[in-house]
Chains A and B, each alone.
Chain A
Amino acid sequence: MNIVSTADLRRTYGEGETAVHALAGVTLEFPSGQFTAIMGPSGSGKSTLMHLLAGLDKPSSGSVKVDGHEIAGLHDTGLTMLRRERFGFVFQSFNLVPVLTAEENIKLPMTLAGREVDQEWFDRLVDTVGLRDRLTHRPSELSGGQQQRVAVARALVHRPAVLFADEPTGNLDSRSSEEVLNLLRQAVDEFHQTVIMVTHEAAAAAIADRIVILSDGQVVHDGAGTDAEGVLDLMKAVG
């Protein structure tokens, strides 16, 4: 079943002569339990696509469906609820609330929604991300990699339908990157989570089940995952 799908999705910035077509007709389907990496050169529209998929931005035309329902027409509250219930987010940086501890940050989506945290699930997550002894620390007391792991745990705590990650390893060294990527992989394999990740690192994309490559706002490749070498070849081929 498709959790998220788009049809002829377009997003244009500006008007007339100076208009930038960040997305120029993108049709994609994201089935449940799949790990998709979205790649492409800088300015190709990766972030724009992800923002539209996650309902953070509105398309100029075309549709985005979540669970088969069109989300383009939803108002702020509807979108907030959707994010709260169905989506998890990991950004490149600045993922955590500085005044809350790691534990509080992880539980944030549940607390905001006023829901009980499933303690068993929480414990499992914490063990998976390996932060048991850091739970009472505040973000400023955690390393960048640890912060991103907290962010992943937070993105999973409410068992979202889709986890969106925009360059989650962009700010990390290779070891920390690997930890975070492995976590995402685990989320798909063990928790049957759907993950859509934007990245421009071949090593990161290599972990995905499927690779979508954008160029100038259009899909130029959509195929099965491959190793880092393969990804680089793909990039070269379309670039």
Chain B
Amino acid sequence: MTKVALRGLLSRKLRSVLTGFAVVIGVAFVVGTLVFTDTIDESFKNLFERTQQGVDVSVEGRQAVKSDFSVPPTMPSDTLEKVKSVPGVAVAEGSVTSDGTLLDKQGKVIVSQGPPTLIVSENTEKVFQILEYEEGGAPQTADEIALDRGTAERYDFKVGDKATVSGRAPAKEYTVSGVATIGGSDNLGGSRMIAMTLPEAQRVTGHDGFDSISISTGGEDPDTVKAAVASELGRDFLVRTGEEAAEQQAQDLSEALGFIRIALLIFAGVALLVGGFLIFNTFTVTVAQRTKEFALLRVLGASRGQILRSVLIETFAVGLLASIIGVLAGLVVAPALAALMKAGGIDLGTTGIVVSPMTVIIGLVIGLVATMVSGFVPALRATRVEPVTAMRDAVTPGLKHMGLIRIVGSGLLAAGGLVVLFIGLFGGLDSSSAAASLIGLGALLLMFAFAFLAPLLVRPLARVLGAPMARFQGLTGVLARENAIRQPQRTAVTAAALMVGLALVVLVAVFAAGLKATINGTIDDQVRASLVVQNQDGFSPIPADVVRTVEGVDGVTDVASMRFAVGQAKGDSGTTAVNGIDADKFNSVLTLNWVEGNPDTLSGLTDQQVIVESDWAKSHDVGVGGSVQFTTPVGREVTYEVAGTFKNQAGLTADVLLTSNTLEQDWNAKDIAYAMAASDPGTNADTLAAATNRALQGFPQTEALTREEFKDNATGSIDGLLGLVYGLLALSVLVALLGIVNTLALSVHERTRELGMLRAVGMTRGQVRAMVRAESVITAGIGAILGIVLGVVFALIISRPLAEQGFVFTLPIVTLIVFFVLAGVAGVVAAIPPARRAAKVDVLRAVTTE
């Protein structure tokens, strides 16, 4: 029987290849993702090991509250003396590291969505020097900098060139003293490095002290020295061995970037799911086409078990081969993913490929499981073939008696999906990942409900979609429509595969449109300022001195800044973002949605008071007059009195508002997130923005935006992300298109005689192609309609909880129409190979083939 199975496989090469292809793509995506993220992890680990070279023990300020990408507080200058006094410390040197800004040769700020531009102090102690100068040497004076080779080459800086750098201090022009590599590599994980002398680095970054102190023990046990230093410095300091520090830093970064892995794996999962539909369909058709063969085998004495085994072996063989190819293809996908991320603005600067044995195993297992699960139902169906079928004409079972089962079944699935979805959304689950899993599961069940119901929808949908074709294309259109309806189940599964990918695309599109509308609406409603001053990259902090500069601009009446920090509220396991606002001026730039309180509450806000978001207040069980306790990033325990509550909209502010002063003092927030400026009535916003930008030339990293520009800026970043998501989902859609190709190819094969007969009575090749094409378009159209409806339903449900936070549900009609049309075009493309095959059918075949 095994022989029969494998021979069957070989005799249907094309089909096997097409089926396998879906698995290959899914597995390749999974493996690619794992390889890609492993590579990121590995390259960061190497990186931090290199930066900790020669460091036996390292000292940093302790972060009482850690969050993604947060940095330790700067240590006071006298820390170094204390460290040096500890026995066992042979050499100790303090250094500074901070985000900074580099201008390219044209004077434009180098903006990056990915790795930052870092200002570092060059070490003077030989043991800690990790920079190897290719050209020139280390910066010696306050007017010199050194650059990493990657940056120097990319932006064409040579030794002796001028380069402008700004940080918390205004921009200043330096001379490039040297170009260096770091532990043999061109740059630090894709970031741009500017090395300065320690005092200059301290001045530019505004870091009054050291961000880290490196210790060499001169041979003594690092752990002993570590303990001694720790006891000397006390609990505000984090003392680790160099090894520990490197490991920890790499792990922190890897965790911070963990969302990338999860997101990519979700997309890979979707592609696999779509592939599953394709496998299911192909095997179903194969089994149907082989009904006679199975019946004959049964007549000859094959048992049901033997038939099942034979089909499962075939499935296994396809799955195994495809998984192996998929794993190999994954190695190609990994760099492609890196390139895609880069195109989407996330440059992680990785090189090389890390393939762990686990990745290979996961890839193979996932591919095999997906294939076997999808192929199991068709295999079972094969066992149900009755021996007598061999003597009869095979009749495809009708759907009539299935109607009720399908309606009830999909109703149950949908109900289950909705319940799970709602628990995920409104269940008030503590863990957000559990909630996300439930939402995912619910969505999956809903999709299956739709897919299960789809065969019943094929007929009416094909009627609607086929109507214009029958109208304009005549007979070939009618035939296409009828052919699509002929085996509703087959058409339905094919369309469902497209539905899955498209539903997610639509969900994202609708969500993005809603977000944009929400952001625009919120800015219109709440922002009263004429200008917003922020970092050009849209998220990095800017120097607090900017406020004074903007205040000096003609026409500007009030400038209010917003500081940002992350702390931990008492009793919480997670962190809370807080904003520090210039309370006295804030009313003139922003209107809060007051629940309890009024603008006077804000203008009168004291340093011991706080305004909190109303839902936040509810979940933390406080009200106006009550008090809330936080641990700040620098480890201070602080208590504030709740002065008022407001409703947050579109995340314009954090949920907790303190005074700017409090945030600077208690929370160590030296920089501001952004500043907003109100102007005299009648001032032209564009002119004002231009004037402000001129005034801000000293801080080239900043930009002043009018309200309209601010809106574009905020919504523009959504578009960027949207592009990335579309790119990743395109893969699933591609797999679905393969499904259409596959199904059509199978149908064409089945209808060889019919096609030949049509050709005999005068159908031209062009007409044959048009017929197949129209069937493809109808199938794609059904998938598109199902997908769009499902996607909108998803968006409606999932955005429910956000409605409270002011989420405006908007249907991007034009986008949806574009999707629909694109699906049709995709249908045309998918039809090319099968249509070509159909047109090639020899007329004689119809007459002679039995």
Contacts and interface: CB of A to CB of B under 8 A. Distances in A.
A97 B758 contact: yes
Q: What interface size band does chain B fall in?
A: 20 to 34
Interface string A96-114: 1111100010001101111
B762 A80 contact: yes
Contact of B762 (A47, A97, A98, A113): A113
Most chain B CB atoms below 10 A, which of A47, A76, A80, A154: A80
A35 interface: no
B479 interface: yes
Nearest to A96: B757
A169 to B, nearest CB: 16
Contacts of A56: 760, 843-844, 847
Nearest to B476: A112
A111 B475 contact: yes
A54 B203 CA distance: 95
Contact of A80 (B475, B479, B763, B846): B763
Nearest to A88: B761
Contacts of B763: 80, 112
Contacts of B149: none
A51 interface: yes
A99 B459 CA distance: 13
Given A47-B848, A111-B474, A89 B761 contact: yes
B754 A89 contact: no
A91 B846 contact: yes
A84 interface: yes
A97 B754 contact: yes
B356 interface: no
B306 interface: no
Contacts of A154: 761
Nearest to A114: B474
A95 B445 CA distance: 45
Contacts of A88: 761
B479 A83 contact: no
Contacts of A100: 478-479, 482
Interface string B755-773: 0011111111101000000
B749 interface: no
Contacts of B479: 97, 99-100
Contacts of B843: 56
A77 interface: yes
Nearest to B847: A91
Nearest to B485: A99
Nearest to B848: A47
Interface residues of A, number: 31
B754 A80 contact: no
Nearest to B767: A112
A13 to B, nearest CB: 12
Contacts of A83: 760-762
A94 interface: yes
A203 B483 CA distance: 39
A12 B353 CA distance: 60
Contacts of B759: 80
Nearest to B395: A140
A97 B765 CA distance: 17
Contact of B847 (A96, A108, A166): A166
Contacts of B844: 51, 56-57
B620 interface: no
Interface string B463-485: 00000000000110011001101
A112 B761 contact: yes
B608 to A, nearest CB: 80
Contacts of A89: 760-761
A84 B475 CA distance: 15
Most chain A CB atoms below 10 A, which of B474, B760, B843, B844: B760
B753 interface: yes
Interface in A118-154: 154
Interface in A154-172: 154, 166
Contacts of B754: 94, 97-98
Contacts of A99: 479, 482-483, 485-486
Interface string B823-850: 0000000000000000000011011100
A84 B847 contact: no
A154 B760 CA distance: 12
A100 B299 CA distance: 35
Contacts of A76: 765
B476 to A, nearest CB: 8
Contacts of B761: 83-84, 88-89, 108-109, 112, 154
A14 B228 CA distance: 95
Contacts of A96: 757
A83 B762 CA distance: 6
Contacts of B753: 94
Most chain A CB atoms below 10 A, which of B475, B765, B848: B475
A104 B482 CA distance: 13
A81 B474 CA distance: 18
Most chain A CB atoms below 10 A, which of B483, B843, B848: B843
A50 B416 CA distance: 63
Nearest to B760: A89
Given A57-B844, A111-B475, A112-B475, A91 B757 contact: yes
B762 A84 contact: yes
Interface string A23-67: 000000000000000000000000100010010110000000000
B197 to A, nearest CB: 82
Contacts of A51: 844, 847
25 contacts: A51-B844, A56-B847, A77-B764, A80-B762, A83-B760, A83-B762, A91-B760, A91-B846, A97-B479, A97-B758, A98-B486, A99-B483, A99-B486, A100-B478, A104-B478, A109-B761, A109-B762, A111-B474, A111-B475, A112-B762, A112-B764, A112-B767, A113-B762, A114-B474, A166-B847
Given A91-B846, A166-B847, 11 more contacts: A57-B844, A80-B765, A83-B761, A83-B762, A95-B757, A98-B486, A98-B754, A100-B482, A112-B758, A112-B763, A113-B762
Interface of A: 47, 51, 54, 56-57, 76-77, 80-81, 83-85, 88-89, 91, 94-100, 104, 108-109, 111-114, 154, 166
**Closest CB pairs A-B (n = 8):** A84-B762, A99-B482, A111-B475, A112-B762, A56-B843, A80-B764, A109-B762, A109-B761
